[in-house]
Structure 1
Amino acid sequence: LSENGGHGLGVWGSAGADVNENTIEDNGGYGIFSWSAGEVRGGGNRMRGNGVDLGGNLNGRLRVPLREPSEPEITYPDPDGRYASLQEAIDALLPGGGLSLQAGEYEAGVTLAKEVRLEAEAEGGTVTLRAKSEGVPVLSLVGGAKLDMDGLRLTGGSEGILITADAQANLIHCAVIGNLSGIHVSHSSRVEIADCHISENRQTGIWVGDRAQATIIGSQILENGWQGIGLGGEAQATLIGCTISRNRRDGGIVLWDSVQAILEESEVSANWGYGIALYHPPCFGLAGGFTGRLSGRANTSNGNQRGAVCPAELEFLLTDEGGELDWRE
Structure 2
Amino acid sequence: MRWSVVLVASLLLTTGAAIGATLRVPQDYPTIQAAVESASPGDEVVISPGTYGGGVFVDKDLTLRGEGEVILAGGFVPSEDQIDLEALYGLLAHSPRLSFTVRICILVNGAHVILENLALERADIGLWATEEAEVSCRKLAAAASYWDVVGQGNAQLALEGCEFGPTIGAGLFLSDSAMAELASCTFQVEPSRGPAGTGLEVFPDPELYPAAVFLKDSARLRLEGCELSGGEAGIRGTVGVSLGLGEQVAELSRCTVRGFYQGFLVASGRLELADSRIQDCTFGLIAAPDTEVELLENTWEGCERLAIWAWWGAMVTGADNIFSGNLVDLAGYADPGLRRPLHRAELLEARYPSPDFSSLQEAVDAVLPGGMVVLAAPVAEGATLVKDLTLRGVEGLGPGEAFLSLVGGVEVRVEKVPFSGQGEVLVAAGRLTMNGVRFSGEGEGENLMKGGIDLLAGASAALEDCVFEGYVAPIRIWQGAGTVELRSCVLRRGGTGIWAEKAEDVCLAGCTISGFSRGVYLDGGSLLAIDTGFFSNGTSLFLDAHAGAVCRDCTFAPSGTAVVLGPRATFEGEGCAFRGGAGPAIRTAALKGFELTLRGSRIENVQGDALYLMSTGSANLEECSIQGNAGAGIRLGAGAELSLTGCTIAGNRWGILIEAKSCELAVYKRTFTGAISGGGNEISGNTEADLCPAYPGPPWPADFLAND
Short-chain TM bin: 0.7 to 0.9
Q: Residue 97 of structure 1 corresponds to which residue in structure 2?
A: 371
Shift >6 Å, 4+ stretches = 320-323
Cα distance in 1 for partners of 2:493, 2:523 equals 21
Cα distance in 2 for partners of 1:76, 1:181 equals 22
State how many pairs are aligned. 295
Cα deviation for residue 317 of structure 1 reads: 5.2
Cα distance in 2 for partners of 1:317, 1:163 equals 33
Does the C-alpha gap of structure 1 residues 322 and 153 become closer, same or farther in structure 2, counting only changes over 3 Å? farther
Cα deviation for residue 41 of structure 1 reads: 1.7
Cα deviation for residue 127 of structure 1 reads: 3.8
Q: How does 1:77-96 map to 2 (within 5 A)?
A: 77-78=353-354, 81-96=355-370
Q: Residue 490 of structure 2 corresponds to which residue in structure 1?
A: 220
Q: Residue 306 of structure 1 corresponds to which residue in structure 2?
A: 560
Query: Could you give the per-residue CA deviations for residues 145-173 of structure 1, whole angstroms, max 9, x where no partner exists?
Result: 2111100011233x521111x11110110
Query: Could you give the per-residue CA deviations for residues 127-154 of structure 1, whole angstroms, max 9, x where no partner exists?
Result: 43324xxxxxx11111132111100011
Cα distance in 2 for partners of 1:33, 1:11 equals 6
Q: Residue 254 of structure 1 corresponds to which residue in structure 2?
A: 521
1:38 aligns with 2:306: no
**Does the residue aligned with 2:311 lie in a helix, a strand or coil?**
strand
- What stretches of structure 1 of length at least 5 have no aligned partner? 132-137, 280-289
**Does the residue aligned with 1:238 lie in a helix, a strand or coil?**
strand
- Percent identical residues: 26
Cα deviation for residue 107 of structure 1 reads: 2.4
Query: Could you give the per-residue CA deviations for residues 198-233 of structure 1, whole angstroms, max 9, x where no partner exists?
Result: 1101x2021111111211111001102x21111112
Cα contact 1:31–1:52 (8 A) shared by 2: yes
Cα distance in 1 for partners of 2:410, 2:461 equals 11
Cα deviation for residue 36 of structure 1 reads: 4.5
- What stretches of structure 2 of length at least 5 have no aligned partner? 1-276, 442-448, 578-596, 600-616, 619-708
Q: Residue 286 of structure 1 corresponds to which residue in structure 2?
A: none
Q: Residue 128 of structure 1 corresponds to which residue in structure 2?
A: 399
Cα distance in 1 for partners of 2:318, 2:333 equals 13
Cα distance in 2 for partners of 1:160, 1:227 equals 16
1:176 aligns with 2:439: yes
Q: How does 1:96-175 map to 2 (within 5 A)?
A: 96-102=370-376, 104-121=377-394, 124-131=395-402, 138-157=403-422, 160-164=424-428, 166-175=429-438
In structure 2, give the amino acid aligned to 1:277: F
Q: Residue 287 of structure 1 corresponds to which residue in structure 2?
A: none
Cα deviation for residue 313 of structure 1 reads: 6.1
Cα distance in 2 for partners of 1:185, 1:156 equals 19
Aligned pair partner of 1:297 in 552, 561, 567: 552
Does the C-alpha gap of structure 1 residues 317 and 310 become closer, same or farther in structure 2, counting only changes over 3 Å? farther
Cα distance in 1 for partners of 2:290, 2:598 equals 41
In structure 2, give the amino acid aligned to 1:252: G
Q: Residue 283 of structure 1 corresponds to which residue in structure 2?
A: none
Cα deviation for residue 305 of structure 1 reads: 2.5
In structure 2, give the amino acid aligned to 1:95: P
In structure 2, give the amino acid aligned to 1:99: V
Cα distance in 2 for partners of 1:64, 1:12 equals 23
Cα deviation for residue 318 of structure 1 reads: 5.3
* TM-score relative to the length of structure 1: 0.83
Cα distance in 1 for partners of 2:415, 2:359 equals 20
Structure with larger Rg: 2
**Aligned Cα root-mean-square deviation (Å):** 2.3
Cα distance in 2 for partners of 1:237, 1:313 equals 15
Q: Residue 514 of structure 2 corresponds to which residue in structure 1?
A: 245
Query: Could you give the per-residue CA deviations for residues 247-271 of structure 1, whole angstroms, max 9, x where no partner exists?
Result: 13xx1111112x1221111000101
Cα contact 2:527–2:549 (8 A) shared by 1: yes
Cα deviation for residue 29 of structure 1 reads: 2.5
Cα contact 2:506–2:527 (8 A) shared by 1: yes
Q: Residue 192 of structure 1 corresponds to which residue in structure 2?
A: 462
Cα distance in 2 for partners of 1:313, 1:92 equals 49
Cα distance in 2 for partners of 1:267, 1:174 equals 20
Cα distance in 2 for partners of 1:322, 1:240 equals 19
Aligned pair partner of 2:474 in 177, 180, 205: 205
Cα contact 1:295–1:322 (8 A) shared by 2: no
Cα deviation for residue 315 of structure 1 reads: 6.1
The structure whose RCO (Cα within 8 Å, separation 6+) is larger is 1
